[in-house]
Structure 1
Amino acid sequence: DWCLDQLETIQTHRSVSEMASNKFKRMLNRELSHLSEMSRSGNQVSEYISTTFLDKQNEVEIPSPTLREREKPMCHISGVKKLTHSSSLSNSTLPRFGVKTEHEEALARELDDLNKWGLNIFHVAEFSNNRPLSCIMFAIFQERDLLKTFRIPVDTFVTYVMTLEDHYHANVAYHNSLHAADVTQSTHVLLSSPALDAVFTDLEILAALFAAAIHDVDHPGVSNQFL
């Protein structure tokens, strides 16, 4: 507040609050224009935000796009691990649910609830040889036929999700691969809701599932003040 008070004392043609508001509107307009061009749902979201939150009496021109500097990575995964499993998987050698297990039938019974709320993710972890995220991702992508839609080689996909799961810390009590698998399965069920039918494209669904799977990777298990 003190900083704003000091800035207000500077002689300008417009108030600081007005300049800040206009700056925000320019940024929001640019993002909404980009969003509306990306997908079917993007236009609906853009229109809602624009009509609800933007002041139509004080429209702001969208600045012409400029070349952006090369973006720096926002985060860095500590200690990228080497593959601890075979990277030469083939379709003929892939297990039924993407992971090796001695409890295939028990795992199959648990995955009967893949499309329902309340799937027992702890049982999935137990019967998948402690590979809940890999198993859930494989089952969902098969269920939604996303591997065929985007021509993703099955062996490459399994290698990726297993490597992803390896980068979750098993000694972290909550933000681990079990949590990631639970969030991914919940996202899958939510996206299957009749209210969202035909709202999202296959690419948006794929992106949402990947986001759910990776959202806590390499989490150290502590809050920000302890990092």
Structure 2
Amino acid sequence: MAVSKPKADSVLHNAAQHLIITQRFFPVVVSGKAAEGEMEKRLTDEDDELSEVEPDAVPTEVRDWLALTFTRSMNNVRRRGQEKPKFRSVAHAIRAGIMVDRIYRRLSSSSTLHIPPAVLQLLKGMDDWSFDVFALNSAADGHSLKYVGYELLQKYDLVTKYKINSSMLDSFLLQLEAGYSKYKNPYHNLVHGADVTQTVHNILSQSKLAHWLTDLEVFATIVAALIHDFEHTGTTNNFHIQTGSEFALLYNDKAVLENHHICASFRIMRSEESNILNHLSREEYREFRALVIEMVLATDMSFHFQQLKNMKNLLGMPENIDKQKALSLVLHCADISHPAKDWSLHHRWTNQLLEEFFKQGDREQELGLPISPLCDREKTLVAESQIGFIDFIVDPSFTVMTEMLEKILTPLQKAARSEEAISEEVFDKSDKSKYVLSTPWADCLAINKNKWKEQAAKDAEERKRKEAEEKSKVPNSNTNNNTTKAPVPADKATPVVNCSTDGKNDSNVRWVDQNFSISRIGTLILESSDDRRGKDRQMDEHVLSRVIRELHNSSSSSDDEGDTC
């Protein structure tokens, strides 16, 4: 007696066939070269998004950081996206997803990896948007990346499908952790790698984007997330370029760190003891490698605005979204996602990132280089920097990603609904509903931005208070012990040296009594310098000493005129 196929599977199968037939017999017809030219024009538009930002919208330092980090200073050779004409059965993808959801592979059952009970308990929350990776790392004794990587490769059944040797996988993950720990970075470390990988998983699983992908594409996406900052030096690409580092020389100043992350990681995967790819066919390996390279290179922040512009253009076209570009945007968003997580996580990540920036600023100061934006531990406006980061980088990125996911997943949902309705003979051809995506990041972004605004207001008040205190410490030259003195004749006064870089005296020159303390003059000069710091007019100790000596030598002369530094 034949066993009937489950109704759910039948519906999914019919939905897949319906979608395949629709794509085969109703293709979008475009005219060869004309369409190609239009596509090229739209995708290569290099208008800088920052040019639309009003000058007063963000502090100068924050704007400089956005420009330095998220734009390119030179034209790079463009890479042509590889077309993927292959179309995987939607029914097969959805069934695989359902199977993965039903079969939760507990790591404790593995004979090759013992999982502490506390770690196992935390791993059950891997599907949560604001998963606490810090708690996991603490429970895992500093091995959060290893457990996250192993858990996800098991969860998507990739270990079985690609016959990954358990000892090779263990070696691969441990070497990744060692590489992430190489430079002891406060931010770009193995915890960040684990956090980004878990975030990518959340987007793939909770949006059901994984159903759109082949097993190999899911495998490449997880691995790309795991390795995306491998052996990060704790400094920016611009620092490597400015210092002429070995990495900058090796990669010709182009995506310096990203190229190294990829190269060093594939060296590990090629080694005999860590070759988790040894059962891939030659074709599978080439496809896997191409996708990983594309995704990790897209984490170069200088490509940020162009990446968003390209995706916006694709969203306005009738063609399907290219998988490489879609997955690249997912990884990029995951990489900058901490402002879109719960405040406790975001605030901790912010402190660690700024400490890494400050360490770079200290090194730049030691090397006599200009201190990069947000890298000066004495002057960085933390709250303002995060508001600018959310407004101009994170929020727009997640908005575009949300629109992209809705465009990709709406046809899949409609096909499944249509076939289910047909099977029940209640098919509605007028159904124009759109896939509704859960966006937990939206609420977090709004909450965190408001908290930073409150902090910025408090910081501004504190700066005003300190400025008032500093001014109150400087006595008026015409008063002494609250007793009014006669005005000092102009020929009996000594001008404080004007240290503006243009060499001209201006209204900032302060006049003091000739009997005024030389050390107080130094304080006034530094205050004047501080007032002018927005114009990059600062004074170092050497110049100050010279000024004091000149004032001391000329203090006995009543007809001294103002000098310039």
Alignment TM-score > 0.5, same fold = yes
Look up the equivalent residue of 1:132 and give its one-letter code. S
Mapping for residues 122-201 of structure 1, pairs under 5 Å: 122-169=134-181, 171-201=184-214
* Counterpart residue number, 1:95: 113
Determine the C-alpha separation between the residues in 2 that align with 1:161 and 1:197.
23
Residues 68-97 of structure 1: CA deviation (Å, up to 9, x unaligned): xxxxxxxxxxxxxxxxxxxxxxx74x2234
Residues 163-204 of structure 1: CA deviation (Å, up to 9, x unaligned): 111111361011111000000011111111344252011110
* Counterpart residue number, 1:217: 230
Look up the equivalent residue of 1:162 and give its one-letter code. L
Mapping for residues 20-99 of structure 1, pairs under 5 Å: 31=80, 34-37=82-85, 40=88, 92=111, 94-97=112-115
Secondary structure at the counterpart of residue 170 of structure 2: helix
Residues 31 and 162 (structure 1), Cα distance of their counterparts in 2 relative to 1, 3 Å cut = same
Structure 1: 4+ residue segments shifted above 4 A: 38-41
CA shift at 1:128, angstroms?
Answer: 1.2
Contact 1:137 1:181 in 2 (8 A): yes
CA shift at 1:36, angstroms?
Answer: 2.4
Determine the C-alpha separation between the residues in 1 that align with 2:179 and 2:210.
33
Determine the C-alpha separation between the residues in 2 that align with 1:224 and 1:145.
36
Determine the C-alpha separation between the residues in 1 that align with 2:199 and 2:172.
21
Look up the equivalent residue of 1:36 and give its one-letter code. K
Q: TM-score, normalised by structure 2?
A: 0.24
1:109 aligns with 2:121: yes
Look up the equivalent residue of 1:35 and give its one-letter code. E
Q: TM-score, normalised by structure 1?
A: 0.58
Residues 40 and 128 (structure 1), Cα distance of their counterparts in 2 relative to 1, 3 Å cut = same
Contact 2:180 2:231 in 1 (8 A): yes
Q: Match for 1:202 among 215, 218, 222?
A: 215
Determine the C-alpha separation between the residues in 1 that align with 2:172 and 2:132.
24
| Structure 2 residue runs without a partner (length 5+) | 1-36, 45-78, 90-109, 241-565
Contact 1:39 1:201 in 2 (8 A): no
Residues 173 and 38 (structure 1), Cα distance of their counterparts in 2 relative to 1, 3 Å cut = farther
Contact 1:107 1:127 in 2 (8 A): yes
Q: How many residues align?
A: 148
Q: Calculate the aligned-residue CA RMSD, in Å.
A: 2.8
Residues 10-64 of structure 1: CA deviation (Å, up to 9, x unaligned): xxxxxxxxxxx69x57x99x945x42235559xxxxxxxxxxxxxxxxxxxxxxx
Rg comparison, structure with higher value? 2
